[in-house]
Amino acid sequence: MQAEDVARLSAASLNAHRGRTGLILFAMTIAVASVVMLTALGEGARRFVTGEFAALGTHLLFVLPGRTETTGGPPPMLGETPEDLTLSDALALRRSHHVEAVAPIVVGSAPVTYRELEREASILGSTHALFEVRGLTMARGRFLVHGDPRRASPTCVLGEKVANELLRGRSPLGAWIRIGGYRCRVVGVLAAKGVSLGMDIADTVIVPVASAQSIFNTEGLFRVIVQARNRASIDDARTAILDILSERHGRADVTVLTQDAVLNTFDRILHALTLTVAGIAAVSLAVAGILIMNVMLVAVSQRTAEVGLLKALGARNRDVAAVFMAEAGLLALVGAALGLAVAGAVTWMLAQAVPQLPAGIPLWSAAAAVLIALGTGLTFGLLPARRAARLDPVRALAGR
């Protein structure tokens, strides 16, 4: 028998039993669609987080005070407490020619007051460099000016939400606000940029780093964001940072994280999550497979006389099996195609409804779903096909 003829015979018999065919297709469609959609969601989450990191700016390094690596040695003795990372340390990093920009960061939370209105907001002390490093954009006014970062200046930049809620429609530019005991003039409002690693930039007030140090009465920096000259110089910059700070502190007591390392970790975790979720959804594929098997078994018993006839006409056992296997395979393939279409449509609608979540169907998941569907169909088609092939022709012709 030629493959083309097997396919045509199977398609014709599927077409002749529309109710049964429709039922199986429905199950297969749901199964494949759920696998693909869940993967698309997982993939969307992954892309979301990756996107957030990219929004941080490009080729960045984060310098944190203290060593977080495990050394495997005995616990540190007294006096091993890491030294604070100071503003001078941060400024010293500019010496390396691998470093493009350095943004020292001090964060904290303090009540922000404008006339009789007061609200709690995140306070972020930094320099003009932050603007570029974080890829910020202004809605109105300007950012912190260039100048000696060691000097406090009574200016501040508001996040959009803080500006709206504190000033209630009044023009924020030029307004004087209080942060704790510190007075400053609003020089600009940031454009909305979304959530960035848990820090809502819209709910933040940015002040010069020296001002923040005096507000929170601290010498130490929360961290330093360093922008390398380009992607290729990230490793050199990392070495330079460690060298400079070791020299200044007398020992290596800082941790340097590269953006890539952090990104890769998140990427791996979310990829694993996506696979897990897809695996759970794959259970529904198995259920669809069992349905295929049951319905095919019924089909075999309904078409006993036909199987007997095929045998009388000279069909070998494997020809009979091939016809039934082809039916199972066709059901699985068409079901998978429909499932992909449904998943595509739902994902598209989701993308329209929740544009923040960049859900998309990864090619590997579409391919895997189709292959698994086909595999399931054929596996569960095997038993009915063998049963049909083994029918005794005389009894089968009599319809028994």
The DSSP string of 224-235 is EEEEESSGGGHH
Residue 15 β-bridge partners: none
**End-to-end Cα separation, the chain, in angstroms:** 26
Q: Which of 298, 318, 348, 349 binds other proteins (CB under 8 A)?
A: 318
44 contacts 359 by C-beta, under 8 angstroms: yes
Q: Which of 100, 160, 200, 306 binds other proteins (CB under 8 A)?
A: 306
CB of 17 to other proteins, least distance (A): 9
Q: Which C-beta is closer to other proteins: that of 278 or that of 322?
A: 322
CB of 272 to other proteins, least distance (A): 49
Q: Which C-beta is closer to other proteins: that of 233 or that of 304?
A: 304
Q: Which of 304, 369, 368 is nearest to 336 (CA)?
A: 369
Entry field: residues in the chain = 400
CB of 47 to other proteins, least distance (A): 49
Q: Does 319 bind other proteins (CB under 8 A)?
A: yes
The DSSP string of 361-383 is --HHHHHHHHHHHHHHHHHHHHH
The dihedral over CA atoms of 349, 353, 357, 362, expressed in degrees to the nearest 10, equals: 0
**Region of 184-192, 214-222, 311-319, 337-345 interacting with other proteins (CB under 8 A):** 311-319
CB of 374 to other proteins, least distance (A): 24
Per-position x/- string for 12-31, each x denoting binding to other proteins as judged by CB under 8 A, each - no binding: xx-xx---------------
Per-position x/- string for 134-163, each x denoting binding to other proteins as judged by CB under 8 A, each - no binding: ------------------------------
Q: Which of 313, 352, 353, 363 binds other proteins (CB under 8 A)?
A: 313
Q: Which helix (H) or strand (E) holds 48?
A: helix 18-55
**How many residues form the binding site for other proteins (CB under 8 A)?**
25
Q: Which helix (H) or strand (E) holds 21?
A: helix 18-55
Q: Which of 55, 179, 50, 169 is nearest to 120 (CA)?
A: 179
Q: Report 371-400 residues binding other proteins (CB under 8 A).
A: 393-394, 397
Q: Whole-angstrom Cα distance, residue 135 to residue 54?
A: 10
Q: Which C-beta is closer to other proteins: that of 15 or that of 71?
A: 15
3-state helix, strand, coil split of the chain in percent (to 5) is 55, 20, 25
Q: Which of 262, 287, 309, 342 binds other proteins (CB under 8 A)?
A: 309
CB of 5 to other proteins, least distance (A): 5
Q: Does 317 bind other proteins (CB under 8 A)?
A: yes
Q: Does 272 bind other proteins (CB under 8 A)?
A: no
The DSSP string of 211-277 is HHHHHTT-SS-SEEEEEESSGGGHHHHHHHHHHHHHHHHSS--EEEEEHHHHHHHHHHHHHHHHHHH
User: Residue for token digits 């060593």?
Assistant: 67
**Region of 89-97, 130-138, 256-264, 315-323 interacting with other proteins (CB under 8 A):** 315-323
**Region of 6-14, 202-210, 248-256, 262-270 interacting with other proteins (CB under 8 A):** 6-14
Q: Which C-beta is closer to other proteins: that of 106 or that of 388?
A: 388
Q: Does 342 bind other proteins (CB under 8 A)?
A: no
Q: Whole-angstrom Cα distance, residue 226 to residue 59?
A: 9
284 contacts 34 by C-beta, under 8 angstroms: yes
Q: Does 214 bind other proteins (CB under 8 A)?
A: no
Q: Which of 204, 224, 311, 365 binds other proteins (CB under 8 A)?
A: 311
DSSP 94: G
Q: Report 87-116 residues binding other proteins (CB under 8 A).
A: none
Q: Whole-angstrom Cα distance, residue 166 to residue 148?
A: 29
Q: Which C-beta is closer to other proteins: that of 180 or that of 393?
A: 393
Q: Which C-beta is closer to other proteins: that of 294 or that of 317?
A: 317
Which residues are at the interface with other proteins (CB under 8 A)? Answer: 1-2, 5, 9, 12-13, 15-16, 305-306, 308-319, 393-394, 397
